[in-house]
């Protein structure tokens, strides 16, 4: 009876920097432990981007059951809280089917929401949200950020003055609830305390990661990632929405406008991807101290290590 209960309440988390091979590993693991994969990457949720976000291929999606990939339109606002609500539903459905939920991705805030919980901020009125976005568009990020600091001084220590999305979120929370978004964050706890959570971070060496990033970026162009950006630009979505931050959108847009050549564009995307991977690794050192850091260049050895930790 105890073994059955443990099986039903197991939750596997696989994180790591971009291009570290998380998705490939998760598919093999899901096959072995009767699992289903749940996306924990904030950019792989968008239906309009599969190549540029390195979403699992259509053939990979058929190998095991995948959830929360490519379901959201780029013109939709999507918060960590909304992701957590959807992920919780998928996790519980996996448990009911006696399948092991395996969360895979590179978004640290999503994993924090699972392991540490998230503040219960009331839903923001859509009219207020739209009016604030209109104000932001009219006065620009720099002036809007100054207005945020005036009403919520706590934000200055935590939010960068160039972080459009977090600036808007903090402002709307303060305006709506009269309380700082960071005050809401106190006294949170995980909703998965009754789960046996296995936390794996793919600790790939820098030299190998850089090679993977280079190969993957060049493959994206062979797979016509420029077409995705062309179609995205036609939608003319608000520049405060998260999809605009997908690495490659800005660079390819400049390439399409003739501002730079293809080689330079590819190089710039590689640079931004390396910078992003560095931030992910930095996050892991500060927020994932209890995670098991694993890697081997030999996939079979890495798989055995991960299997040992998760079974």
Q: For 79-108, what is each residue's pLDDT tens digit?
A: 899 999 999 999 999 999 999 999 999 999
Residue 221 tokens, joined: 């162009």
- The Cα 2–Cα 12 span in angstroms is 19
pTM of the predicted model, to two decimals? 0.85
Give me the count of residues in the chain. Answer: 311
Domains contained in the chain, CATH given: 2-118+188-310 (3.40.50.300), 126-184 (1.10.20)
Q: What is the pLDDT of residues 31-51, one digit of tens each?
A: 999 999 999 999 999 999 999
Q: State the residue for tokens 């050549």.
A: 261
Are 94 and 87 spatial neighbours (Cβ–Cβ below 8 Å)?
A: no
With a CB cutoff of 8 Å and minimum separation 6, the contacts of 246 are 43, 46, 49, 52, 53
Which pairs count as long-range contacts for 124-130, CB under 8 Å and 24+ apart, including other chains?
124/172, 124/173, 124/176, 125/176, 128/172, 128/175, 128/176, 129/77, 129/172
Report phi then psi at 151, rounded to 5: -95, -20
Q: State the residue for tokens 């991977």.
A: 277
Q: What is the pLDDT of residues 175-219, one digit of tens each?
A: 999 999 888 877 788 999 999 999 999 999 999 999 999 999 999
pLDDT of residue 94: 96
Q: Is 43 helix (H, G, I), strand (E, B) or coil?
A: coil
pLDDT of residue 183: 86
């Amino acid at each position: 009876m105890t073994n059955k209960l443990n099986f039903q309440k197991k939750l596997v988390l696989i994180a790591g920097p971009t291009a570290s091979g998380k998705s490939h590993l998760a598919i093999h693991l899901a096959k072995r432990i009767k699992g289903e994969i749940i996306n924990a990457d904030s950019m792989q949720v968008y239906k309009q981007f599969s190549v540029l976000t390195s979403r699992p291929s259509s053939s990979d999606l058929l190998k095991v059951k995948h959830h929360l990939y490519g379901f959201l339109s780029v013109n939709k606002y999507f918060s960590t809280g909304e992701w957590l609500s959807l992920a919780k539903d998928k996790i519980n459905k996996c448990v009911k089917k006696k399948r092991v939920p395996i969360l895979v991705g590179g978004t640290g805030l999503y994993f924090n929401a699972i392991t540490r919980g998230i503040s219960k901020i009331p839903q923001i009125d859509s009219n207020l949200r739209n009016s604030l976005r209109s104000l932001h568009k009219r006065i620009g990020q720099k002036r809007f950020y100054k207005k945020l600091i005036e009403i919520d001084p706590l934000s200055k220590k935590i939010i960068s003055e160039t972080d459009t999305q977090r600036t808007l979120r903090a402002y709307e929370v303060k305006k709506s609830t009269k309380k700082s978004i960071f005050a809401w964050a106190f006294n949170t706890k995980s909703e998965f305390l009754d789960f046996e959570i296995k936390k794996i971070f793919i600790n790939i060496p820098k030299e190998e990661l850089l090679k993977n990033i280079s190969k993957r970026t060049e493959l994206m162009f062979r797979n016509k990632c420029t077409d995705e950006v062309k179609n995205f630009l036609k939608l003319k979505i608000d520049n405060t929405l998260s999809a605009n931050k997908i690495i490659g959108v800005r660079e390819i847009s400049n390439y399409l406008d003739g501002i730079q050549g293809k080689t330079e564009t590819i190089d710039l995307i590689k640079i931004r991807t390396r910078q992003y991977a560095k931030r992910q690794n930095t996050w892991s050192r500060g927020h994932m101290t209890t995670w098991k850091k694993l890697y081997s260049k030999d996939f079979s050895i890495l798989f055995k290590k991960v299997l040992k930790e998760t079974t």
